[in-house]
Each structure stands twice: as structure tokens, then as C-alpha cells.
Amino acid sequence: MATATTEAAGAERGTSVARARILETAASLFYREGVRAVGVDLVVERSGVAKTSLYRHFATKDDLVVAFLEQEDAEYWRDWETVAEKAKGDALAELEAHIRWIANHILKPTYRGCPFLNVATEFPDAAHPARAITTRHKLELHRRLAALAKQAGIRKPAELADQLGLLFDGAYMNGHLTGKKGPVRSFVPAGLALLRLAQEQE
């Protein structure tokens, strides 16, 4: 019995490792080259996992894209919470910290745009499962920004969330296109200016 249990556990670990390898490879390729440009065969080749194994874990390419976006979403909010923890108890300071965190992220040499905006551009059909995740992510960003603005005593928190959300998305796209020498240089000053203006309107 113990041997059977050990073998089952080993098989489960092997399955988990294979899934993680497939997803890691697909995520890297999707982010660097775009979802539509990357076929399942390329993921199989780069991951070193059999195609049958890939389809065992992800029945369709869409399932793999969804898993990629869910992973990106979870990672984004983990990073968000790490930033938030450093400014705990001061909503205005937290908003500023998020602005600076995003600015630093955009300037990384591996940055290739916002994965949610990238995928949303590739899948115009609002009913596509990938679009559902990208929309959910952006709505959650707006919700969090509005909640922080409200905690900071901003009179129109939803309006500030609208403005910051548009600024963030603009920086995400422009930072990838023109780099650190482009308009993204003004991202932090523009974000801080929005915060000051919202405070003045209280």
C-alpha cells in the first residue's frame, strides 16, 4: 500500500511538473511574441513535453491562454500587495507607491507591454474567454484605485480611478513602443499631478 501511495504521489508530482513547464514556456512565448504568433507545436518543442501531455493539461490553446492570463493576474496582484504593504495605513502614499512601482516595471529591459492589453488587442471578440480575464483585471484595477482614493478622502474617487487607469494603460503601451526616452518619462509626474489636483478639489 505504501509503495502504491508513493508511486501515485510521484506520478502526481510528475504531472504537476509537466503542467508547470508547459505553462512557463507558453507564458514566455506568448508575452514575447504574441499569442496568435505562437502555435501549440512551438510550445511543445520549447517545453520538451509531449503534445499528448500538453493536451492532457490544456484541452485547447484557448485554455492555455486563459491559464497564462490567470497566472499574470495573480502575479500582478501579489506585486500590488507587496507595494501596498510598504505604505500600509496611508492611502495617498500607497497610490503614489503604485505609480512609482509601475514606472519601474515599465523600464525593465524585459518589458514588452501589458499582457492584458496585448491579448485584448489580439482577441477583439468580447465573448472570448481571454477577453473576459483582461476585462476583469482592468475592472479590478479600477476598483482598487477608487477604493484607495476614497480612503484618501478624495471627493470623486471613481473619477480619479478613471484618470489613473487611463494614464496607466497609456504608459503600459507607450513605454513598450518608445522606451524610457519617450513620453513615459512623464508618467510619474503626471500621476502625482493627478493626485494633487484631486486633493485640491476636495
pLDDT at 201: 81
Note every long-range contact of 57-62, with CB atoms under 8 Å and residues 24 or more positions apart, other chains counting.
57/15, 57/18, 57/19, 57/22, 58/22, 62/128, 62/129, 62/130
Segment 136-149, tens digit of pLDDT: 999 999 999 999 99
Burial class (CB in 10 A: 0-12, 13-18, 19+), 105: middle
For the stretch 99-153, pLDDT in tens is 999 999 999 989 999 999 999 999 989 999 999 999 999 999 999 999 999 999 9
CATH topology of domain 1-59: Arc Repressor Mutant, subunit A (1.10.10)
- pLDDT per residue as tens digits for the range 30-61: 999 999 999 999 999 999 999 999 999 999 99
Residue 11 in this model has a pLDDT that exceeds 60: no
Residue in 100, 95, 71 with CA at minimum distance from that of residue 84: 95
Identify the CATH assignment for 61-200 out of 3.90.79.10, 1.20.1050.10, 1.10.357.10, 3.20.20.70.
Answer: 1.10.357.10
Q: How would you class 7 by CB atoms within 10 Å of its CB: exposed for 0-12, middle for 13-18, buried for 19 or more? A: exposed
Residue spans per domain, the chain = 1-59, 61-200
| pTM over the 0.85 mark | yes
